[in-house]
Amino acid sequence: MEDQETCTTEIYLVDDGSVQVSSTQTDGPLPSAAAGTWTGGDGTETSFRMTIARTFGTGVGMDDVGSFTVERSFRGAEVKLIGEAFSITGTMHSSDIIMGDIDVGYFSMIDTTDAKLGEDGEE
């Protein structure tokens, strides 16, 4: 939601470089499909890169005119530890054919994998 609003969505950074975007754990608009990729996160400044494409349906019933896809790239400016969890903050960008690469906001990610899986590593 890039209209001066915030939204929180659970994502999972898979070891193979893909991103799993939760279709239920979000307080933003629900996409009909979402996928992404990521690289970096080795602790150096601006090392984290992630791209997420989300597809949304338009209209309802007879007014449905198709779907559209929104792609955003995320560039980590700071990777640090908060307690025992990694935190990545940075800027969110959109690529526009007229305006080029434009900064459309910021993001903050906190690794909650251990808390989600529990102390024994299982859900």
Q: What is the pTM of this model?
A: 0.75
pLDDT of the chain along its 123 residues, tens only?
Answer: 445 567 788 888 888 999 998 877 777 778 888 999 998 865 555 578 999 999 888 766 666 678 888 899 998 877 777 777 788 888 899 988 888 888 888 888 888 776 666 654 554
How far apart, in whole angstroms, are the C-alpha atoms of residue 94 and residue 92?
7
